Chain A
Amino acid sequence: MESIDLFSSLWAYLQSYDFIALLLKLIFILIIGPGLVPIMVWLERRGSAMIQGRMGPNRVGPLGLLQALADVLKFFAKEPFVPGTANKFYYNLAPIIAAVAPLAAFAAIPFGGTVLFDGYETNLQLSNLNIGILAALAFAGLEVYPIMLAGWASNNKYAVLGALRGASQMISYEIAMGLALIAMFLIYGTVDMNQMVAWQGESLFGILPRWGLFVNPLAAMIFLIGIFAETNRMPFDLPEGDAELVAGYHVEYGSTKFAMFFFAEYVAMSMAAALFVTLFLGGYGLLPGMEALAQYLAQVFQLEALGLHNLKTFLGVGSFLMKLCFMLFFYIWVRWTVPRFRFDQLMNLGWRILLPIGLVNLVFTAIAIYFIGSSL
């Protein structure tokens, strides 16, 4: 009897509104997370080509859009080779963690407000956790493990050196990032990302939107530099160094496992960009001018309060994606502008410049909030 109850309750859950909403959100996350990767790869190649006065790949499909697909097919067709001296378990585990951790972090990031449908209110966020952004950060922090595991398990000098660099770089920049974040927590007074977005929805001095970027530009800058270092992007792509380390920690990886590292790198980039957007660019808050657009559309289509709310949510998802795409473009833009750092310069920047600035910023923010309150 019990098992029948279990099945029927499970069946009831599967037909419930909650489950369908969850499924749709999951699909959306899986589209904007991994789905952005081929677009990013394409944009990276064509964008870099344009910045360097070249044309870039334009043979596979229209405008070369299918180039990423061709690359993936190539990776999957290759022989999955495992070096004989590698530790098989950790060698195989590393790319799995690398691919899963940033995707899991996406679950905690809200990509829209609430949808009102048939009496239900649905948060456009896969899981609205109480610890909010800390969950996303915890998963983002996991990204250092695949690098260490891959480097150590490969049993290769280059890989170990690359992993060493990657680990020390990510850990040192996490501190500065954390300090910038604490300053933002003080300002927002919460770790719940939905409340942060709501806080940023107001306007500052009546002209600017009250985004974290304008409220505390120093923290935004530290965090921005930090995410470049965290995701091993161009001025800080020290774990890989063609000249001195070959490919760094993933030098012994080929075929699908390399593709997973490659994929993970780009998902981690979009995840970090989504974090930056939520914290400093108003998240899914409407872009300036969209409020008026929503009112205008509501008048044209004669929407009621409910329809207007859903329309605003839809536009909010649109503005979140627009901000996200701008950040992703910014990654590429910076990559092809800035030459890379030397490793000692990188460590200097992290420990001797960003860390003190982060501390000063934190103390200053705390004092400012004590005197003027978080009302601003």
Chain B
Amino acid sequence: MTIVVARHEKISDRFYLVALAQGLVVTMKQMLRSLFGKGIVTIEYPEKRREYSQRFRGAHFISVDSKKTENCTACYLCQTVCPADCITIVAGERDAATSEYGVKKEKRPLSFDIDALRCCFCGFCEEACPKDAIKLSRSYEMATLTREEAQYDLKFLVREVKDRG
């Protein structure tokens, strides 16, 4: 069904020139505002970055304690909950007798791989984690030159991320 929309045009609107002059004034105003650096809404990206919300879900990292040891205990909860099936953990053990943590942190991940190309950044892993180990940072610059670089390993994940990035 066609809907006929009535347009109430005045005579001056139909001549178009008045509206044109008004439009020229509007654009000139904006141009002068931009010329004096007021009306510009874009930022120069690599130098200046947008401040995203604290809840932004970006590149993954694993939190570490004061001795730079990862908090992950390889409980597999994140791997289980992950809807994209992108986390692969291989669990191992620290010897409780020699480890400085004793029985704490006895279980540890031997490897912790995340396929960032599969990840859908839902944040379920973050919610499931009982140790607050796996987290999503606020970093959004995740472009890589090769597919291999997008496979995050444990060494990459335990990097220092201050204030969620």
Contacts and interface: CB of A to CB of B under 8 A. Distances in A.
B27 to A, nearest CB: 4
B145 interface: no
Contacts of B30: 50-53
Interface string B60-84: 0000000000000000000000000
Interface residues of A, number: 15
A53 B39 CA distance: 5
Interface of B: 17, 20, 23-24, 26-28, 30-31, 33-35, 39-42, 44
Contacts of B42: 53-55
A338 B39 contact: no
A54 B24 contact: no
B23 A50 contact: no
A55 B27 CA distance: 15
A55 B40 CA distance: 7
Contacts of B34: 49-51, 53-54
Nearest to A235: B20
A26 B31 CA distance: 36
A282 interface: no
B41 A53 contact: yes
Contacts of B17: 221
Given A50-B34, A53-B34, A337 B41 contact: no
Given A55-B40, A337-B20, 14 more contacts: A47-B31, A49-B34, A51-B31, A52-B30, A53-B30, A53-B34, A53-B39, A55-B44, A333-B28, A333-B31, A337-B23, A337-B26, A338-B20, A338-B23
A90 B17 CA distance: 40
Nearest to B38: A53
7 contacts: A50-B31, A50-B35, A50-B39, A51-B27, A55-B44, A333-B31, A337-B23
A336 B30 CA distance: 11
A303 interface: no
A93 interface: no
Contacts of B39: 50, 53
Interface string A46-62: 01011111110010000
